[in-house]
Amino acid sequence: MDTEEYVLVLGLLLIVAFLLYPSEAISGTFCEGSSGELGGYSVGVQNGFLRVYHRGEEALVAKGDRVLLKRENVEYSYSENCYRLVVKEKPEEALYIFVLGVVLIGVAFYYMLFLKYR
């Protein structure tokens, strides 16, 4: 195998490693009148409503056990006027692994298509 084929295989292995990289489960408990941050999410409980924001948009709105709006993978449970949230997300390092894999594949294809067989 040539060097560019090794780079291509390495890029594919990095992308597979990203897919197999375990997600982090971040959890927290929020009661009436409390607010705070949970990973990259902003959470607040007011008037019995649980509101979860991600990147400035509502990701989850719930009142008690009823879900009014759910856009993201945020799990919650309700008991005694408090909400327990669990957010699963990949760590930032996993994103860097994925990007590096895509860049290596792009470089290998560019070299094979435009430079090697010119």
Once rounded to an integer, what is the mean pLDDT over residues 54-63?
A: 90
Q: Quick one: average pLDDT of 23-47?
A: 90
Sign, Cα dihedral of 64, 65, 70, 73: positive
Confidence of residue 80 (pLDDT cuts 50, 70, 90): confident
Q: Say if residue 33 is in the same domain as residue 79.
A: yes
One domain for residues 71 and 35: yes
80 and 113 both lie in a single domain: no
pLDDT at residue 97, rounded to an integer? 94
pTM equals: 0.68
Listing from the earlier edge strand, what are the strands of the sheet with 24-31? 24-31, 82-89, 74-79
* Domain, as residue range, for 111: 1-23+90-118
Non-local (6+) Cβ contacts of 52 within 8 A are 38, 41, 42, 43, 58, 59, 60, 61, 72, 74, 85
How many separate domains does the chain show?
Answer: 2
- For all residues of the chain together, what is the average pLDDT? 90
DSSP 22: P
Regarding whether 82 and 43 lie in a shared domain, the answer is yes
pLDDT over 80 (residue 117): no
Answer yes or no: do 98 and 66 share one domain.
no
**68 and 94 together in one domain:** no
Beta strand spans in the chain (E):
24-31, 35-38, 41-46, 49-54, 57-63, 66-70, 74-79, 82-89
Q: Which of 75, 72, 83 is nearest to 44 (CA)?
A: 83
Kindly tell me the sign of the dihedral angle through the C-alpha atoms of 61, 76, 79, 67. Answer: positive
Residues 49 and 10 placed together within one structural domain of the fold: no
